[in-house]
Amino acid sequence: MINVIKFAYQPGEHEAEKASNSYLMSLIAIIAGLPLPIINLIATIIFYLGNRKGTFFVRWHCTQALLSQLSIFFINSFGFWWTVSIIFTDEIITSKYIAYLITALIFNLIEFITTIYTAIQIRKGIHVSWWFYGHLTNLICKSGS
């Protein structure tokens, strides 16, 4: 799931702190965002926009954090609106709904733990690339741009 690989260069102390913060931002957003899924995304987008002119290491990790937030956003949004429809419309609580909530919870938990681990590693200047998201970030984030 998570690969510790060598980055193109050794990031400095200040860079590592900033890059690590991008994960902390999504972490705080996860806690606040569970009931309102849009908060995660907004917090991470703001951080991403604020650092898009940062160094390659910072940009790379902001992008990885943003991408992972994006998929969690879809999962949580669907669960959120399903819950709203149960409360306000004819929709009733079914096993399918509860199973979805549990699945969403599992994926949120995985994301949560991975994010904490990554934030700690990045703070130490160790480059961590996630399964799927790491490769996707490589595609989007180029060192020269």
Q: Is 135 in the site for another protein (CB under 8 A)?
A: yes
> Given the complex with another protein, which of 52 and 135 has the nearer CB atom?
135
Return the beta strands (E) in 5-142 as ranges.
128-130
Q: How far is the CB of 10 from another protein (least distance, A)?
A: 26
Query: d(Cα 134, Cα 73) in Å, to the nearest integer?
Result: 18
Residue from 5, 35, 53, 96 in contact with another protein (CB under 8 A)? 96
CA angle 121, 109, 115 (to 5 degrees): 20
Q: Is 49 in the site for another protein (CB under 8 A)?
A: no
- Nearest to residue 108, comparing CAs of 11, 37, 58? 37
17 membership: H or E segment, kind and range: helix 13-33
- Nearest to residue 141, comparing CAs of 77, 21, 53? 53
> Given the complex with another protein, which of 95 and 145 has the nearer CB atom?
95
Q: Is 141 in the site for another protein (CB under 8 A)?
A: no
Stretch of 8-16, 22-30, 38-46, 102-110 lying at the interface with another protein (CB under 8 A): 102-110
Residues that bind another protein (CB under 8 A): 71, 75, 87-90, 93-96, 98-100, 102-103, 106-107, 131-132, 135-136, 139
